[in-house]
Structure 1
Amino acid sequence: MDNAADPPDAGADTQSLKLALTVISIAVLTFLSQTFTGLNIGLMSLDTAQLQVLIDVPNKDEAAMDSARYARRILPLRQKGNLLLCTILLGNTAVNAAMAQLLADYAGGLIGFLLTTAIIVILCEIVPQSVCTRHGLFLGAAGSPIIRLAMILFYPITKPYAMVLDRLFPQRENLLDRSRLQALVEYQKSAAPGMLAEGQAEMLIGALGMAQKTVSEVMVKLETACTLSPKDILDYAFIAQVVQQGFSRFPVVEPTTRQVVGLLHCKDLLSLREPEYDHLEEVRGRSATVGELLEALKQAGRDRQVFVCGKDTTLMALLAEFKRQPHLAVVADGEGPEARHIGIVTLHNIFDTILQAHGNGFSEDVGSSPRRHQQAGALHLFDRTRLEGMAAREEQLGEDEAGAVMSFLVATLPRIFSHQLMNKRKLMGLLRELRPQFIPKRTELYRSGFETTKVTLVLQGAFHLTSGADNCESTLGPWACLGVGLLMPTKGSSAKYTSDFTAVALTDAFVLQIEHHRYLQAAAAAASERLDHLDSLA
């Protein structure tokens, strides 16, 4: 009699077990559905080009290294684009159908419809897609083992479909063309201005837009460019004025035809004092013309051909030509040698376009950079007539001449004249006090074994030096420094300097001399200013 109650208990246990298995099955199917739905976003939204970029990005930080590791897991799957798509969709559909079938056994009709829809839409669609749109790379890498297993299980079904899709819709990398890249950079510049360093966005935009620009859009019109005429007289005043423009190349334009007939470099003008130009009238550029200098260069084999391009030449094409041609092109309004020259374009103009900078290498507003004034000042110091007048009048150096001397001393004697030891203002003040001095031929400027208080910078002329126990002989010319040991830091303020060489002028010469005590005063004043500045900061 007692066994009569067993069958109802066994039935209840069976029902409980069945319900538990159903709940577990629905939970597993819900997870799989979430996985397939989420990976459909996480994997299919990442194209192979984007993944390869994440793998190859240089100078990775910790976050970039994690992204590269996830991308390596995903890339082999993403390269099988249509097979991956078929696997995800088939798996998601099969899981959702199985889930609906299980729920139908417990909730039919309207309740079953609402329950199935709520689980599938809310838990299996909305939630995973929301999460994977924000963490697709990480979740895609984490779920890749499930997708690999699904690919193996569904392969007999999905492979034929994938082959058809590969034939009809072959997979292509989602690469951006030039216009879309430019739009992307412009959007990033406005939406996240701090993501790129200052100027980088403008540089990228300029480089991307350069392919569409022609030389006529960036050239400098010939009438506004800094040009020379074949009839210009190359005296020192004219050369100083030209050099002070700050350009390295100067087109030579025939006044009657307005055609460019030659090209001169700044160094051509500065080298007129060299012996190879002695055949020019009155030598050293005092009455030689630009045309005569061009002819002299041609005879010396240093003639610079004028490179001519059409006004519709693209900047990309011109940049390629500049790899083989001088970095200056004449722009012609047409084809052939008779075409009218209308402008000048330089490598500097192309760089301005890339950098989105204002101005160009041949604008009328040439500014007044220190370098240009220093070049003009150096040229003044080459002018013997000017030096003779300054020496006779005991005239101090001008701003340009002192700037040229300072630039030379800082570059060649940094232990004595660097701006770390003596600030620019103090050094310029010291040099502005100097006066060019005339030294007659055969004058003994230094004698070995005798004390001296002056350092000498040779501007023009030559000196014969005898030094050492063996009486070694040498010759020094312009821009040589004599007696530098006097100003070495190891000498101290009270030490005396005894010359270990003898210097005799081989020719009439012009020099600048710096007194030891004036150098020490300027250096001490500069040091005091530095200390006061540090005290004010403290």
Structure 2
Amino acid sequence: MAVEHTCCGTEFFLQIVIIVLLVLFAGLMSGLTLGLMSMSLVDLEVVAKSGKPKDRKYAERILPVVRNQHLILCTLLICNAAAMEALPIFLDKLVSALGAVLISVTLLLLFGEIIPQSVCTRYGLAIGATVAPFVRILIWICFPVAYPISKILDCVLGNGHVALFRRAELKTLVNLHGNEAGKGGELTHDETTIIAGALELTEKTASHAMTPISQTFAIDINAKLDRDMMNLILEKGHSRVPVYYEQPSNIIGLILAKNLLTIHPEDETPVKNVTIRRIPRFLLINHVLQLIF
């Protein structure tokens, strides 16, 4: 009787251990499914090349494992399903069928879904890198079943999951990383403006960078640099002031505002006596064609 009692106690303890291992295994598979699959290959490559030193090591370990995303997804889901299906079988030997269902659902929901996914959402990179060798083993074990399914998914859905941003999306992403967005970004306003401007270059024409002649501040070559004119130039705040002859559309050059520092307003020096710099010009295509033909 003592031997039989000891055997029953050992079997009970072994089943408890198996149940705990199944719950932990299911939780690990569920967490890895969210942690590994939530990051695209582009995200991992960015982290591997320009992340923190520790994150770079993590990303380099994970990248070879998740390169075939459908295969790793099928492997994790198969292992998770196997653990979830095996848990009621061992619980049924300890409690009633109803109790086995209730306990298995509670254990899997709490320790197999909620807690693992919450942890892997925050520390998915570190956990994924730590268990990467174990995941490789699971891939080889589940390969006969997971590989055909993954190939079907590749044919139906495609095997390219490169989540590259379009220009408009990339511009919004840059703006969100600005320190003015209030999200902890490190980019200054000038940096975000420069990057956004570079992304818009392909959509802009020369007319976008030009100021209409009617809105241009220019001075007549025959005008005098008296106090009123000097105050007007100072008020406009331009470093270069166009100079025209007879009519505003006939721009002949420009003067540098810094060259006016040595001029006294009381002398009323004519503009034509100041150094007038030549400016580059360009003609519209239709005007050029008219001149040629």
Q: Same fold (TM over 0.5)?
A: yes
Structure 2 equivalent of residue 155 of structure 1 = 143
Contact 1:39 1:143 in 2 (8 A): no
In structure 2, relative to structure 1, the CA distance for the partners of 1:304 and 1:213 (3 Å cut) is closer
1:196 alignment partner, one of 177, 187, 199: 187
Which deviates the most, 202-211 or 145-154? Answer: 202-211
In structure 2, relative to structure 1, the CA distance for the partners of 1:167 and 1:11 (3 Å cut) is same
Contact 1:43 1:78 in 2 (8 A): yes
Does residue 307 in structure 1 map to residue 272 in structure 2? Answer: no
In structure 2, relative to structure 1, the CA distance for the partners of 1:67 and 1:254 (3 Å cut) is farther
Hey, what's the Cα distance between the residues in 2 that align with 1:16 and 1:158?
38
Hey, what's the Cα distance between the residues in 1 that align with 2:107 and 2:99?
12
Q: TM-score, normalised by structure 2?
A: 0.77
Give the drift of 1:183: 2.6
Corresponding letter in the other structure for 1:72:
E
In structure 2, relative to structure 1, the CA distance for the partners of 1:286 and 1:124 (3 Å cut) is closer
Does residue 128 in structure 1 map to residue 109 in structure 2? Answer: no
Structure 2 equivalent of residue 26 of structure 1 = 19
Corresponding letter in the other structure for 1:82:
H
Structure 2 equivalent of residue 74 of structure 1 = 62
Corresponding letter in the other structure for 1:221:
P
More contact order relative to length (CA 8 Å, sep ≥ 6): 2
Give the drift of 1:165: 1.4
Give the drift of 1:211: 4.8
Corresponding letter in the other structure for 2:216:
A
In structure 2, relative to structure 1, the CA distance for the partners of 1:143 and 1:253 (3 Å cut) is farther
Corresponding letter in the other structure for 1:132:
C
* Matched residue SS, 1:166: helix
Hey, what's the Cα distance between the residues in 2 that align with 1:84 and 1:67?
21
Contact 1:243 1:266 in 2 (8 A): no
Hey, what's the Cα distance between the residues in 2 that align with 1:211 and 1:251?
32
- The CA RMSD over aligned residues, in Å, is 3.7
Hey, what's the Cα distance between the residues in 2 that align with 1:87 and 1:243?
73
Contact 1:233 1:289 in 2 (8 A): no
* Matched residue SS, 2:286: coil
Give the drift of 1:135: 1.1
Structure 2 equivalent of residue 525 of structure 1 = none
Give the drift of 1:32: 1.3
1:336 alignment partner, one of 257, 267, 286: 286
Contact 1:227 1:253 in 2 (8 A): no
Structure 2 equivalent of residue 38 of structure 1 = 31
* Matched residue SS, 2:215: coil
Give the drift of 1:177: 1.6
Contact 1:52 1:71 in 2 (8 A): yes
Hey, what's the Cα distance between the residues in 2 that align with 1:44 and 1:191?
28
Corresponding letter in the other structure for 1:173:
V
How many residue pairs match? The answer is 272
- Residue by residue over 1:447-481, the C-alpha shift from the partner in whole angstroms, topping out at 9 and shown as x without a partner, is xxxxxxxxxxxxxxxxxxxxxxxxxxxxxxxxxxx
* Matched residue SS, 1:165: helix
2:173 alignment partner, one of 173, 184, 196: 184
* Matched residue SS, 1:190: coil
1:13 alignment partner, one of 3, 6, 10: 6
Where is the strand percentage greater, Structure 1 or Structure 2? 1
Structure 1 equivalent of residue 162 of structure 2 = 173
* Matched residue SS, 1:132: helix
Give the drift of 1:51: 1.0
Structure 2 equivalent of residue 114 of structure 1 = 102
Corresponding letter in the other structure for 1:155:
F
Gaps of 5+ in 2: 261-268
